[in-house]
Amino acid sequence: MNKYILLITLVISFSVSSQSRQVFTINNNWEFYKGNLEVSKTETFLEHNDVKWQSVNIPHTWNNIDTTDDTPGYYRGIAWYKKSIFIESAHTPNAKTLIYFEGVNQVADLYVNGQWVGQHKGGYTRFHFDVTSFLKYNQQNTFAVKVDNSYNEAIPPLSADFTFFGGIYRDVFIMELNEVHFSMDDHSSSGIYISTPEVSKELATVEVKYLLNNEGSKNKTVQVVSQIVDKQGVVVLSLNKKVRLSKNEKNKENTEVFSIKNPQLWSPDNPYLYSVITQIKDLKTGKILDESSEPLGLRWFKFDSEKGFFLNGEHLKLIGTNRHQDYLKKGNALSDEMHVRDIRLLKEMGGNFLRISHYPQDPTVLEMCDRLGILTSVEIPIVNAITESEAFTNNCLAMAEEMVKQNYNHPSLVIWAYMNEVLLRLPFDQKTEKERYEIYAKNVTKLASKIESKIRSLDFYRSTMIVNHGAISRYKDAGLTSVPMILGWNLYQGWYGGKLSSFDSNLDDLHNLFPNQSLIITEYGADVHPRLHSMKPERFDYTVEYGNKYHEHYIKAIQSRSFIVGANIWNLNDFYSESRGYALPRTNLKGITTLDREKKDTWWLYKTALSKTPVIKFGQNQWKIRGGVAEAGKDFCTLPVTVYSNGDSVELWHNNNVVYNAKVVDNIARFSIPFVNGKNSFIAKMKVDSKEYIDVLDVDFRLAPNNFSEFKDEFYGLNVLLGTNRIYEDKVKSQVWIPEQPYTKGSWGYVGGERFRPKTRFGSLPSSDLDIIDSEDDPIYQTQRVDIQKFKLDVPDGRYVISLGWAELESDKEHEKLIYNLGDDRILEAVTDRVFNVLINGNYIEKNLNLAEQFGVEKAVSKKYEVLVLNGEGITLDFEAIKGKPILNTFQIRRL
Ligand code: GCB
Ligand code: CA
């Protein structure tokens, strides 16, 4: 009965036997063609010169450029990849050759030597084909993959707030296997499933289930050795078994059970990993026929609807982010190292939780979470809506099964999820077609129940989750909330609508409504363009300061409620979303890092709040060129400076001579500092356990005159944004745009008019979200003053160049519908019929200016005019309406 053979710790080495499986990438030198080809052509396409193939490497997407240009839309259709590979004769008789894809978006058809091999649907899970019978060994073989990322009503996601980059965007491997091997046939999993039905400090039970294939034509008995190896490579336990396999037998199942005494536990602070090494050996020769190594982390966990999450018996508040798999100009075609970098960014921030949204990602992501100690949730991409068809249901179920089986062994993974805001966009009006809606809602719930039971049947140990948006009753009424074990909520109070404080009441309401279910705030966030600032931040202004305010509020509300199991910031990184206009076109800016992973303030806020070691860091630390108007009679401008710190108080040195002190409240020390023209250098200091920690910041401050005649410094010029409180830092031109002010004598500013505030279903907003054509700096054109009468400056005599900037923001142009949150019901502005004249000091510089007609809507227009100012006349711009109301977006003046 003693089937556990306990080996005394023994170091073994795993030499790669030439007999064992061989796995290598074939990423380089593919040829690519964007467009469809007749399959008959592809059979011999190597000889075809009429098609222009382009040489590419994998990871590859064909959308990295067309999603970032000024034109809406991106290529969603068919493209072909081909590659000729010399395949050596098999190293053993009856060996198998597989081609293995980590991810192709979204439908892939494989052809080998002109013959169709198979198809895979779904852009985010792994798959493989056995190509043995299609190959010519010791010869060149042509592999061709037809990839299609067009809309497919049977494959989720149907719609979502992210770009569906097409291509073979993750690694491709060739795998050479002996005729006897661990089965890949169970949804392209490793064929090895590790579970830990019981773990405690004293004892861990580990079940290793493996699936064996004998694809030879003879019956065969092999020996399977399973070992648990610790971090140092020492074998802790080893079991072995003779297994008899019939000829052509597939997926023969076996299970070994190990008991580990006094196990090393896995946790975020100590992500201790064992490995499970499994080998198939030839009974006679002892040769290794196949081998595998899987991660093993020993931990137990519990979700409690009142008290939160417990890991290894200890409470752990789960705080972290979501993550999208794309990067600046690369689309989703990222190398493994870039995925690794992201998970490190989260760990470095102090995060212990990652919602891998909205789809399974590259295998390196979960590998890194195992290694770094980050708990995770993974989901299949059923986003926004479903199709009520059998085909859709089947694809969902297949994806769920692939997800679970391919990722089963990761100790970091604790939640399987499968729907995101599926009742966000109803396919019809809920009120007018009540009955139809009820059917739809029922079908959504029916689908959810099917996926739920599928997942539960595949994994007994983990929890399940559905993610909903703030329209709570929709999900409850549809019965959807009673399907999963955990409820995820994406809450954006204070962004898409409402006040920040309604977030708090929402949390309490949710707990009252669902007292027995664990609640996770699966998303919350605010769009931030790191170059935009405001001293009067407001919802939808995209400024750093509003984003900070939002997160400062949310983090407190989340931390102070024990029934909130965890929360995931939306998002770790800014990401591409083709249908968005916004401050940076085609991009969702809710990341706490940018598309190229520049850390925003919010990243530092969380790092400060979550770190167990001392952190001190200037807020607004990316903001190096600042500006403001001198206070009356003064030669400085007082502005706030914030320092993130987890100490008690912070000492701030300004230009090496003035010292300020402030207490740290909620991880922030706040100061008011008189900025002087030119260089302002800061040192922030704090003491923790008598050790000093510092951060430094240099700001180049451009002081604008309040009263020109009192201004001590030389007046170099001024860049003004109209119709806004926003400040924009232009790093390329090294200049700062400051907000408008009304004209007063001796000073500068506008006369008359009002701010343009587009009306949307989210209320009247502080800026337009149009994608400005022909500008790298969209935000400066996205605000304007409407019905402006004058712009006046009492500048000293001299020669000046003035630039005026416009973009017509009102139109009835049928905008590409933002299928996502901002949406269909956007209230379009009236047809624009705007004609006006502009005069400088009485001379017409623009006559009958009609921006929409002459340049088009949402197009950046900028014009320069030279002006000679004499006799103290100053500068006066007059705007004369001919039709409609005159506008001005930007005003710039430079002294020559
Ligand atoms: C959501 C969605 C996510 C969006 C996000 C947003 O609720 O789940 O995909 O990107 O809101 O930024 O609007
Ligand atoms: Ca990879």
Averaged pLDDT, 267-275: 98
Give the end of a domain, one of 551, 585, 615.
Answer: 615
Tell me the percentage of the chain whose pLDDT exceeds 90.
86
What type of residue is 230? D
pLDDT band at 746 (very low <50, low <70, confident <90, very high): very high
More confident residue, 58 or 36: 58
Ligand nearest to the CA of 171: 2
Q: For the chain, what is the mean pLDDT?
A: 93
Give the pLDDT confidence score for residue 593 in this predicted structure: 98
- Classify residue 201: in a domain, yes or no: yes
Task: Check residue 5 and give its pLDDT.
Answer: 37
pLDDT band at 585 (very low <50, low <70, confident <90, very high): confident
558 shares a domain with 473:
yes
CA distance 388 to 440: 8
Whose C-alpha lies nearest to ligand 1, atom 10?
Answer: 161
Closest ligand to C-alpha of residue 540 is: 1
Per-residue pLDDT at 91:
67
Ligand 1 centroid to 820 CA: how many Å? 8
The reply to whether ligand 1 has any atom less than 6 angstroms from the CB of 574 is no
The answer, yes or no, to whether residue 722 has pLDDT greater than 50, is: yes
Asked whether residue 303 is assigned to any structural domain, the reply reads no
Q: Is the CB of 161 under 6 A from ligand 1?
A: yes
Does 609 share its domain with 631? no
pLDDT at 51 > cutoff 90: no
d(CA 197, CA 430): 45
The CA 332 to ligand 1 mean position distance, Å, reads 18
Same domain for 535 and 632, yes or no, is no
> Domain residues for 682?
616-704
Specify the residue for token string 């005729």.
179
Q: Are residues 413 and 292 in the same domain?
A: no
- Segment 841-868 shows an average pLDDT of 95
Integer-rounded Cα radius of gyration of the chain? 31
Q: Lowest mean pLDDT of 71-80, 206-215, 220-229, 293-302, name the range.
A: 71-80
Residue 220 in contact with ligand 1 by CB distance below 6 A: no
Q: Are residues 112 and 14 in the same domain?
A: yes
Of the residues 229, 264, 296, which one is the last residue of a structural domain?
296
384 C-beta closer than 6 A to ligand 1: no
Q: Is the pLDDT of residue 242 over 80?
A: yes
Cross-sheet strand order for the sheet of 139-148: 54-56, 30-34, 78-87, 139-148, 107-112, 115-121
132, 224: one domain: no
| CATH number for the domain harbouring residue 421 | 3.20.20.80
Residue 219 lies in a domain: yes
Ligand 1 pocket, residue 588 CB under 6 Å: yes
Mean pLDDT value of segment 263-279? 98
Burial class (CB in 10 A: 0-12, 13-18, 19+), 144: buried
Number of helices followed by number of strands (H, E) in the chain: 11, 59
Q: Which ligand is nearest to the CA of 364?
A: 2
Residue 668 lies in a domain: yes
Neighbours of 16 (CB within 10 A): 10
Q: Are residues 199 and 220 in the same domain?
A: yes
pLDDT bucket at 284, cuts 50 / 70 / 90: very high
Asked if 555 and 456 sit in the same domain, the reply is yes
List the CATH number of the domain containing 662.
Answer: 2.60.40.10
Cβ(420) – ligand 1 distance below 6 Å: yes
**At 180, which amino acid appears?**
V
Instruction: Specify the ligand 1 atom closest to the Cα of 577.
Output: 10
Residues 658 and 541 in one domain: no
Average pLDDT over residues 69-85: 90
Per residue in 129-163, pLDDT (tens digit) is 999 999 999 999 999 999 999 999 999 999 999 99
Residue 184: inside a domain:
no
Q: How far from the centroid of its chain's Cα atoms is residue 487's Cα?
A: 21
| 74-90 average pLDDT score | 92
The 10 Å Cβ neighbour count of residue 95 is 20
Residue 44: per-residue pLDDT:
59
The ligand with the least distance to the CA atom of 527 is 1
| Per-residue confidence band for 42, with pLDDT thresholds at 50, 70 and 90 | low
What integer pLDDT is reported at residue 43 of this predicted model? 61
Range 431-460 average pLDDT: 93
- Asked whether residue 611 falls in the same domain as residue 636, the answer is no
How many domains in the chain? 5
pLDDT at 731: 95
Q: Where does a domain end: 588, 615, 642?
A: 615
Q: What CATH number has the domain bearing residue 124?
A: 2.60.120.260
pLDDT score of 883: 96
746 and 803 co-located in one domain:
yes
Task: Kindly state whether residue 479 falls inside one of the protein's structural domains.
Answer: yes
Tell me what pLDDT residue 773 has: 87
185 inside domain:
no
What is the pLDDT, as a whole number, of residue 784?
Answer: 98
**Omega prior to 779 cis, within 30 of 0:** no
- Whether the per-residue pLDDT at 509 is higher than 80: the answer is yes
Contact 404, 379 (CB under 8 A): no
Mean pLDDT for the stretch of residues 680-702: 98
Establish if 181 belongs to a structural domain.
no
101 C-alpha to ligand 2 centroid (Å):
9
How much is the pLDDT for 40? 73
What pLDDT, in 10s, does the model give residues 5-35? Answer: 333 333 333 333 456 899 999 999 999 999 9
Q: Tell me the per-residue pLDDT of 645-677, one tens digit each, with 9 for 90 and over.
A: 999 999 999 999 899 999 999 999 999 999 999
- CATH code of the domain containing 782: 2.60.120.430
Short-list 697, 741, 698, CA closest to 718 = 741
In short, whether 576's Cβ falls inside 6 Å of ligand 1 is no
Residues 671 and 569 in one domain: no
Looking from the CA of residue 469, the nearest atom of ligand 1 is 7
**pLDDT tens string 519-549:** 999 999 999 999 999 999 999 999 999 999 9
